[in-house]
């Protein structure tokens, strides 16, 4: 197999990896914020449930979670899961990453000084206005470093989709390597993940610079 055919085949996998990455990020960040509200809720039952969910997500391997999400419906209801693979992957990733992001949001929100809420309250901001305009923007800045860490981990974690035999980057690389008995696709894969993360880190540091206009 020529390098160019290999690259074409792997290119398709790269797009799939990137799509897992983007969908996970776009969905799990807002979901994580909502989950963090549940985690901080005054309602003990809700808080208990959310806390348990977060601890399970963080305390068990993501690969195992993906398998459960994908095969669960089949084992439980004999459901036909043939067309469900991609959805299962996104669902599994989102539910897992939302748990991590929820903890990050929570620590960010709880680190905000009480005085910011009080100043907003006295100035007439409603609770939601205060949160959206005064608190959340500052929380975003505070949590950028841990969010960057998770995002970089996510780039590498997309390779776990291979556990569901989804033909993303890593699966294809492994396949070709095995079939052609060559090491090259693995090197290509490594370079891909490295560049991917290089770009992600660049974007994050751009955002960080954007937010450095205040302290």
Partner 1 sequence: MAVLEMNHIKKVFGGLTVLEDISLHVDEGEVLSIIGPSGSGKSTILRCATFLEKIDGGEFSYMGRKAAWEENGSVKYADKASLKEIKKNFGLVFQNFNLFPHYSVMKNLTDAPLNVQKRQKDEVMAQAEDLLKQMGLSDKGDAYPYQLSGGQSQRVAIARALMLNPGILFFDEPTSALDPELTGEVLRVIKSLADKNMTMVIVTHEMKFAHDISDRMIFIDGGVIVEDCTPEEMFSSKNERLQSFLGKLETTY
Judged by beta carbon, residue 6 or residue 130, the one nearer partner 1 is 130
Cβ 214 to partner 1 shortest distance, Å: 5
Judged by beta carbon, residue 58 or residue 127, the one nearer partner 1 is 127
Torsion sign over Cα 164, 165, 169, 170: positive
CB atoms < 10 A from the CB of 18, how many? Answer: 16
CA-to-CA separations, 95 to 15, 54, 132, in angstroms, rounded: 22, 9, 24
**209 lies in the binding site for partner 1 (CB under 8 A):** no
List phi, psi (to 5°) of 121: -60, -45
Cβ 149 to partner 1 shortest distance, Å: 23
Judged by beta carbon, residue 49 or residue 136, the one nearer partner 1 is 136
- Stretch of 18-26, 119-127, 173-181, 191-199 contacting partner 1, by CB under 8 A: 119-127
CA angle 102, 53, 34 (to 5 degrees): 35
Cβ 50 to partner 1 shortest distance, Å: 27
* Interface residue with partner 1, options 137, 145, 179, 203 (CB under 8 A): 137
Q: Which pair of structure tokens corresponds to residue 182? A: 């060559």
**147, 54, 30, 170 alpha-carbon torsion, rounded to 10°:** 60
CB atoms < 10 A from the CB of 102, how many? Answer: 27
- Stretch of 17-25, 89-97, 99-107, 133-141 contacting partner 1, by CB under 8 A: 133-141
* Interface residue with partner 1, options 76, 83, 122, 165 (CB under 8 A): 122
CA-to-CA separations, 139 to 26, 104, 145, 168, 194, in angstroms, rounded: 18, 10, 11, 34, 29
Number of helical H runs and strand E runs in the chain = 9, 0
Cβ 129 to partner 1 shortest distance, Å: 7
**134 lies in the binding site for partner 1 (CB under 8 A):** yes
Residues from 79 through 118 that contact partner 1 (CB under 8 A): 113, 115-116, 118
Cβ 215 to partner 1 shortest distance, Å: 4
Cβ 207 to partner 1 shortest distance, Å: 14
CA 140 to chain centre: 16
Q: Which residues make up the interface to partner 1 (CB under 8 A)? A: 113, 115-116, 118-126, 129, 133-134, 137-138, 141, 213-215
């Amino acid at each position: 197999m020529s390098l160019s055919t290999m690259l074409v085949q792997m290119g398709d996998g790269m797009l799939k990896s990137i799509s897992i990455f983007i969908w996970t990020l776009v969905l799990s960040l807002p979901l994580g914020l909502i989950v963090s509200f549940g985690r901080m809720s005054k309602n003990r039952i809700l808080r208990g449930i959310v806390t348990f969910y977060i601890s399970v997500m963080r305390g068990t391997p993501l690969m195992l979670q993906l398998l459960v999400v994908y095969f669960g419906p089949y084992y439980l209801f004999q459901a036909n899961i043939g067309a469900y693979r991609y959805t299962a992957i996104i669902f599994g990733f989102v539910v897992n990453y939302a748990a991590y992001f929820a903890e990050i949001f929570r620590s960010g929100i709880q680190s905000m000084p009480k005085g910011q809420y009080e100043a907003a309250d006295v100035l007439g901001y409603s609770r939601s206005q205060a949160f959206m305009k005064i608190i959340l923007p500052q929380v975003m800045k505070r949590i950028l470093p841990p969010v960057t860490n998770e995002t970089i981990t996510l780039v590498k974690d997309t390779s776990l989709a291979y556990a569901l035999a989804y033909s993303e980057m890593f699966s294809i690389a492994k396949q070709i390597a095995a079939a052609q008995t060559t090491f090259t696709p693995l090197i290509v894969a490594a370079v891909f993940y490295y560049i991917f993360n290089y770009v992600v880190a660049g974007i994050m540091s751009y955002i960080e610079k954007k937010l450095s206009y205040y302290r």
